[in-house]
Structure 1
Amino acid sequence: MIIDSHCHLDYEPLINDINKVLLNAKNNNISHLLTIGTGLDSSKKVFDIVEKYENIYGSIGIHPNSTTNHLADLNELLSIKKKSKKIIAFGETGLDYFYKRSEKKDQLYSFEKHIELAISEKVPVIIHTRDADEDTLSIIKKYHLKSKFLIHCFTGGLEFAKKLLELGCLISFSGIITFKKSSDLRNVVKYVPIEKMLIETDSPYLSPDPFRGKSNEPANVKIVAETVASIKQITFEEVASSTTKNFKNFFLNG
């Protein structure tokens, strides 16, 4: 069995045919999914989804690219979390200096606010980081003894990964590791201990080869697992077993 640790089931086209998406995941031995909120409306949809489907967990948050216009929504996240034990994390939050869609100061404030909410509720934080290595590390260092952090869809360099691991972070890899141009990222996969790793699709985005250009779905996390196995020269079963164990220990306390 495998777990997709990061997908967006409230996004089109997945939400339009969610029962088929979940059946396809089941047929590919995907046991559980973690669907991620990226705004207040998105997080409300995540709540509805996890309450309806037994094998789906949720995380709620405001994406860093949306913080400037939605800081007031942060306080409402806590009320959503308190309604369901199946909301098991806050995020995705973090820092994105690539697109510059939100002010840096707003992203930094939102990131820390998510962490403080997570600490109060004793759940982990799911981090999106792009072109913001130093600021991301600085904030994690500030809180790493009080909270747990997962870096989702890792695309950074080896030195960044090493520093994150030193701070106790888990690192999650997506279908990007299958892309021909991703040789440096595959070296990071080779370095990161399997005990510190999760796998994800980030669907409906980032379809792995050979499905690039098509809508992604949770079933394709199997391809990510196969690719990790090939890179690390271990069995598919080892990847599936280890990442499932890691997920349960990290989010569900074993």
Structure 2
Amino acid sequence: MFQEIHSTTNAVDAAAFVDTHCHLDDDSFASDLDAVMDRSRELGVSRWINVGFNPDRWQPSIDLADRFPGMSFMLGVHPGDARRWSDTVHADLKELMERVPPVAIGEIGLDFYRGETNVEQQVMAFQSQLDLALERGLPAAIHMRSAESLVLEVIKSRYKTPPLLFHSYDGSDELTGWILANDAYVGVGGLATRTKSHHIHKQLRRFPLDRLLLETDSPYLVPNGFKHRRNTPESIPRIAAFVATLLDTEAGLIASQTTRNAERFFERLPPP
């Protein structure tokens, strides 16, 4: 498939893309991040949202935004770090967001993929951060792995939720229905490009274009056909081309529409 659509990425309008979820403070980028950023700009990626997903990654994410024009950040505590959630961490996150506002809270949610048993801790951290997003007037990026039913239960039990983005979407018919009914968004990245991701392809075809965002989750989730073992924002045009083929539309339309979607969802997104 990618051999057939690769040429369409060359026609995509320059500076059209936003990578809405990446981890460019990861150690794998320590030696060549400037070069990675330059190459992604050449391919039309002009904005990036780095995810500070635990207290150790908050300041590095903020520092990246100071270092690179077009870079912004979200802050939160990943469910894999829920054991670190406490009143002190809550207060620290709240104080930091007041001082240096992020574009979103994230990534937050629930993850039981490796058999985690700290259900109460994860739910408490998730609920508290949803409350914090509402308090700060911010959207939230949801991480969900082997936890869909409980994520839905938590969300449905709330009187109100912030605007929600389901990162690296791989949900069911039920969750897709909830997202469509509640004006939430979904992130599309490397996982969706894999040939065995038939269930994701089925769900993505149900969404209108104005509910889709592009992401890489760099350095993770390398897309099908990407020549590097480490994912980078350079793969965004490839993901856009895949989505265009899947939805039988033009890659340029995917670029422009997903950028408008990002600007609408992340109201504090900086200019390119």
- 126, 130, 149: which one pairs with 1:111? 126
Matched, 1:204 2:227: no
Counterpart code for 2:68: Y
TM-score by length of 1: 0.93
Normalising to structure 2: TM-score of the pair?
Answer: 0.88
Percent identity at matched positions? 26
Match of 1:26 in 2: 41
Amino acid at match of 1:79: E
Residue 119 of structure 1: CA displacement? Answer: 1.1
Larger radius of gyration: 2
Q: Deviations over 1:188-241 (max 9, x none)?
A: 111111111111001100111113770000110111111000000010011011
**Structure 1 residues 143 and 58 mapped into 2: Cα distance closer, same or farther (>3 Å)?**
farther
1-side partners of 2:151 and 2:179: how far apart? 9
* SS of structure 1 residue aligned to 2:151: helix
Amino acid at match of 1:174: G
Once the 2 structures are TM-superposed, how far is the Cα of residue 23 of structure 1 from its aligned partner?
A: 0.5
C-alpha contact (below 8 Å) 2:52/2:75 kept by paired residues: yes
1:178 equivalent to 2:193? Answer yes
Q: CA deviation at 1:92?
A: 0.3
Match of 1:159 in 2: 174
Q: Name the counterpart of 2:95.
A: 79
What is the deviation of 1:121? 1.0
Of the three residues 76, 82, 106, the one matched with 1:67 is: 82
Deviations 1:71-114 (Å, cap 9, x if unpaired)?
Answer: 342321122212224x1111100001212346110100000111
Query: 1:69: Cα distance to partner?
Result: 3.2
* Maintained 8 Å contact 1:144/1:167: no
Partner SS state of residue 242, structure 2: helix
Q: Which amino acid aligns with 1:177?
A: A
Distance 1:7 1:135 in 2: 25
In structure 2, which of residues 106, 113, 121 is the aligned counterpart of residue 98 of structure 1?
113
* Secondary structure at the counterpart of residue 16 of structure 1: coil
Please list, as runs of the form range in 1=range in 2, the aligned pairs for 1:101-250 lying within 5 A after superposition. 101=116, 103-143=118-158, 145-211=160-226, 214-250=229-265
Contact preservation (8 Å) 1:175, 1:223: no
Structure scoring higher RCO (CA < 8 A, sep ≥ 6) equals 2
Mapped partners of 1:102, 1:69: distance in 2: 15
CA distance in 1, matches of 2:117, 2:53: 14
Q: Distance in 1 between matches of 2:206 and 2:159?
A: 22
Give the Å deviation of 1:139. 2.3
Tell me the number of residue pairs that the alignment of Structure 1 and Structure 2 aligns.
253
The one-letter code of the counterpart of 2:26 is: Y
Q: In structure 2, give the amino acid aligned to 1:192.
A: F
Q: Which runs of 5+ in 2 are unaligned?
A: 1-15
Give, in whole Å, the separation in 1 of the partners of 2:192 and 2:121.
31
Measured after TM superposition, the shift of residue 57 of structure 1 is 0.9
Tell me which residue corresponds to 2:7.
Answer: none
Q: CA deviation at 1:179?
A: 0.8
SS at match of 2:56: helix
Q: Which amino acid aligns with 1:200?
A: E
